[in-house]
Chains A and B, each alone.
Chain A
Amino acid sequence: MTLESKVPSGPIADKWDNHRFQMKLVNPANKRKYSAIIVGTGLAGASAAASMAELGYNVKAFCYQDTPRRAHSIAAQGGINAAKNYQNDGDSIYRLFYDTVKGGDFRSREANVYRLAQVSTAIIDQCVAQGVPFAREYGGTLANRSFGGAQVSRTFYARGQTGQQLLLGAYSALCRQIAAGKVAMYPRTEMLDLVVVDNRARGIVVRDMVTGEISSHSADAVILATGGYGNVFYLSTNAKGCNVTAAYRAYKKGAFFANPCFTQIHPTCIPQSGDYQSKLTLMSESLRNDGRIWVPKKKDDNRHPNDIPEEERDYYLERKYPSFGNLAPRDISSRSAKEVVDEGRGIGPTGVGVYLDFRDAINRLGKDAIRDRYGNLFQMYERITGEDPYEVPMRIYPASHYTMGGLWVDYNLESTIPGLFVLGEANFSDHGANRLGASALMQGLADGYFVIPYTIGDYFARAGNSDVDASHKEFANVEKEVEERTRKYLSINGKRTPDSFHRELGKIMWEHCGMNRNEQGLKKALEKIPALREEFWENLLVLGNDKNLNQTLELAGRVADFLEFAEIMIYDALTREESCGAHFREEYQTEEGEAKRDDENFSFVSAWEFTGVGKKPNLHKESLEFENVQLATRSYK
């Protein structure tokens, strides 16, 4: 099978316009004859469901939370980018496009990124019209800030709760369509498998998480917007329920998985405090605008941070990257933190952490100005650690945060299974090997509000109605498989809970496939993962039954999928013999320890095809052409 990206021809700035003209339309009167299943109602799924229902399509939407308003998108703090150039500081669609391709270390598809930058401006318009209370200037215009190392101020924000406000906007649009009867919403319902008949996605099999009932749903197209797989590391900034199940099940049914090893480790999270830790909390990157990152120059320096004089502090980012300093991109900041910790200069009770210090900013701007900017973040930090960041520097350390990899999709966001579309963090499309701050919210909403409503119409117009519904025997087969799997978890009756397996898997992945990777470690992981998986199927302990709400059972299913999925991540990391973006292979670095990309041999998207559990998947390559942005070595010196 060859991967067809379906990127339209023509100059980059005209591609999307041309494509929109060339795509087929569904006659307004016929739209109600088409139906779609949307799994996931975070930013990507809720915006898609609302927009498609507004057009007249019938939508069934699913999420595992008790209401769509709680999707993990709610946790995004920092902001959302858009090329509005309201600040007159030199931003443009082209610059946002350029920054994103470069930030992604030249491993993304130019045409998709350009489109993302193009539609970014309409997203802000839409959200404001919904009543999203973005921050404003006294004159009543929208406020912007510079975020995550951008040289222009293009980030829109709603205090430290941008994701919450954007999600509530999309959720309100979704509520309106539920009330209008155009969206049927299924909360507390988990997709456990995809149904494919004659090489077309036909529907899904789900479990009602309250009654335990397994049932089938069919539609003319299936759309996954199920978020990222950062919880493969167990400890991450993701919500506890985030999982890979929907995407992984689709992969097992023939959808290719792209770039699974591109996982972003966020530099500013609160360090782990003990073994019981269940998640890590992100401290918004915006803190790096005013905070200075340092560690003591001396190893094992146990003095209180405020007692360490200026000349004995190493502001290592400012030292190594003078022009970007504390705002160096996420991957670079994270790796630098690991480096100083590995040298024995880490801080805090565990020695695994670095300081983020506001002393100078407070002296310069005053405590009130800092409270104005970061008050709620400081409060959150104090609540978790019991320390006051106005008085003592924050302790931070990198943690798993976002996954650039995801199901492979073409320009229309369609996967390799016809009729299966993938949106938001669940696809691989726009961020290459590293995502820039405030760009995930933009991408999720771009996919949902402004891309899928067009491309789904083209699909319906071409493919027509699905001639298979839930009475087809394949649905019954898949239901049976799902039921058997569920019963299996309950029947093993071993000694270890799913959580304990998940923690162990997380440790393996963090150690061997985390911030730094090398061949030896990756190969070790390839031995450890199957062994752990084997133990899982022999020694799993899940109490209760499958006919009511059973959280351990839910977790068992998710962990089982992580245990298989983890292996493709390792294969991907092993195969990519270069360092790019968030993927740092120790063997491929410059003398100064910077990532060494290999454009000659690795300028492609890795798309993996399932061949069997525990078997090496087949690698397909989509080669990447850079016609508009010149390949260059990223330098943030």
Chain B
Amino acid sequence: MNLTLYVWRQKDANDKGRMEKYAAKDINEHMSFLEMLDVVNEDLAQQGIEPIAFDHDCREGICGTCSLVVNGRPHGHETGTTVCQLHMRHFKDGDSIYIEPWRAKAFPVVRDLIVDRSAFDRIMQAGGFVSVNTGSAQDANSIPISKEAADTAMDAAACIGCGACVAACPNASAMLFVSAKISQLASLPQGQAERERRARGMIAQMDAEGFGNCTNFYECEAACPKEIPVKFIAKMNREYMRALAKGK
């Protein structure tokens, strides 16, 4: 199939950026979206045009690196799919496709479709861990954890930190991301000792990074490639209130 691409090009963080139009020729339906871009890039290079820069690594939907807004939707229109796992069979000959980077104040563009998501790391550093030094753990089976609690923790822990939730939210809120980590650790006995401190620390950092507030659009859940549910945001709010109540 043949497609027309409109792609965001921006030389660096200081450049204003603009959409450019490119042709994607002879695209096979079994290609992944990123393989389609590889083909286009090879073509551009042969024409002396610098290839489109986009982030990617595992190309199997788990590392959270790929981050394209396709036709206005982070990761494209397929639910529960990262853009590296989106295949061209979902498009048809003659389609126009608009490709843009994540847009959020806290995620400045680095180049073309690549953004800086280091704000997520700083939120993690503000409490997204259990303080346990290597070697000081007890036997792994000494604290039983119900299957339900373990499953809830895993549901939350499945987050790949891609930032699609932020890109999808009209307020550029990072609450789905933050709540997933807070909920994971709050569900487990190991997370109890620092429960309040973690909630307050991570939320304070989230605000400091310039992410917006949640006003219940639920776009984050719809865009999340791992389908992390918004119920974790409610849980996070409870955790926060609990921390405040305890004065910690």
B39 at the interface (CB under 8 A from A): yes
Q: Which residues of A contact B23 (CB under 8 A)?
A: none
Measured in the bound complex, the distance between the Cα atoms of B2 and A425 in whole Å is: 42
Q: Which residues of B contact A385 (CB under 8 A)?
A: 30
Where chain B touches its partner, the secondary structure class is loop
Shortest Cβ gap from A353 to chain B (Å):
14
Q: B93-128 vs A: 1/0 string, CB under 8 Å?
A: 000000000000000001100101110110011101
A21 at the interface (CB under 8 A from B): no
Given known pairs A69-B64, A74-B63, A239-B59, the reply for A129 and B116 (CB within 8 Å) is no
Given known pairs A137-B147, A175-B124, the reply for A130 and B63 (CB within 8 Å) is no
A178 adjacent to B150 (CB under 8 Å): no
Shortest Cβ gap from A358 to chain B (Å):
21
Which bracket fits the contact residues of B?
35 or more
Measured in the bound complex, the distance between the Cα atoms of B81 and A232 in whole Å is: 28
B158 adjacent to A549 (CB under 8 Å): no
Given known pairs A141-B144, A279-B59, A543-B51, the reply for A131 and B153 (CB within 8 Å) is yes
User: Which residues of B144-175 have CB atoms within 8 Å of chain A's CB atoms?
Assistant: 144-147, 150-151, 153-154, 157-158, 160-161
A129 adjacent to B132 (CB under 8 Å): yes
B245 at the interface (CB under 8 A from A): no
A281 adjacent to B190 (CB under 8 Å): no
Question: Which of the residues B64, B81, B125, B191 comes within 8 Å of A178, measured between beta carbons?
Answer: B125
Measured in the bound complex, the distance between the Cα atoms of B124 and A131 in whole Å is: 14
Stretch in B134-142, B214-222, B235-243 touching the partner? B134-142
Given known pairs A175-B128, A210-B110, the reply for A136 and B160 (CB within 8 Å) is no
B61 at the interface (CB under 8 A from A): yes
A544 at the interface (CB under 8 A from B): yes
Q: Which of A127, A136, A499 has the most CB of B within 10 A?
A: A136
A10 at the interface (CB under 8 A from B): no
A276 adjacent to B153 (CB under 8 Å): no
Q: Which residues of B contact A240 (CB under 8 A)?
A: 56-59
Given known pairs A70-B57, A125-B140, A134-B150, the reply for A176 and B129 (CB within 8 Å) is yes
Q: Which residues of B contact A75 (CB under 8 A)?
A: 58, 60, 62-63
User: Which residues of A347-403 have CB atoms within 8 Å of chain B's CB atoms?
Assistant: 379-380, 383-386
Q: Which residues of A contact B34 (CB under 8 A)?
A: 278
Measured in the bound complex, the distance between the Cα atoms of B136 and A453 in whole Å is: 14
B50 adjacent to A543 (CB under 8 Å): yes
B35 at the interface (CB under 8 A from A): yes
Q: Which residue of B lies closest to A277 (CB)?
A: B35
Measured in the bound complex, the distance between the Cα atoms of B63 and A65 in whole Å is: 10
Q: Which residues of A contact B1 (CB under 8 A)?
A: none
A74 adjacent to B62 (CB under 8 Å): yes
A489 at the interface (CB under 8 A from B): no
Q: Which residues of A contact B56 (CB under 8 A)?
A: 240
Q: Which residues of B contact A241 (CB under 8 A)?
A: 57
Given known pairs A136-B147, A136-B150, A140-B146, the reply for A50 and B134 (CB within 8 Å) is yes
B234 at the interface (CB under 8 A from A): no
Residues of A within 8 A of B (CB): 47, 50-51, 54, 65-70, 72, 74-75, 84, 86, 122, 124-131, 133-142, 158-159, 161, 164-165, 168, 171-173, 175-176, 178-179, 185, 187, 210, 239-241, 273-274, 276-279, 281-282, 379-380, 383-386, 449-450, 453, 495, 497, 499-500, 541, 543-544, 548-552
Residues of B within 8 A of A (CB): 11-12, 28, 30-32, 34-35, 38-39, 42, 45-46, 48-51, 53, 55-65, 78, 80-81, 85, 87, 89, 110-111, 114, 116-118, 120-121, 124-126, 128-141, 143-147, 150-151, 153-154, 157-158, 160-161, 184-185, 188, 190-191
Question: Can you report 27 residue pairs joining A to B where beta carbons are below 8 Å apart?
Answer: A54-B134, A66-B117, A67-B118, A69-B124, A72-B58, A74-B160, A75-B62, A126-B137, A129-B137, A131-B153, A133-B153, A133-B157, A134-B150, A137-B147, A140-B145, A161-B158, A176-B125, A176-B131, A274-B30, A278-B34, A278-B35, A380-B61, A450-B135, A453-B134, A541-B45, A543-B49, A544-B50
Taking A129-B137, A548-B12 as known contacts, 6 extra A-B pairs with beta carbons closer than 8 A to each other, sorted by chain A number, are A67-B121, A75-B60, A141-B144, A159-B158, A276-B39, A543-B51
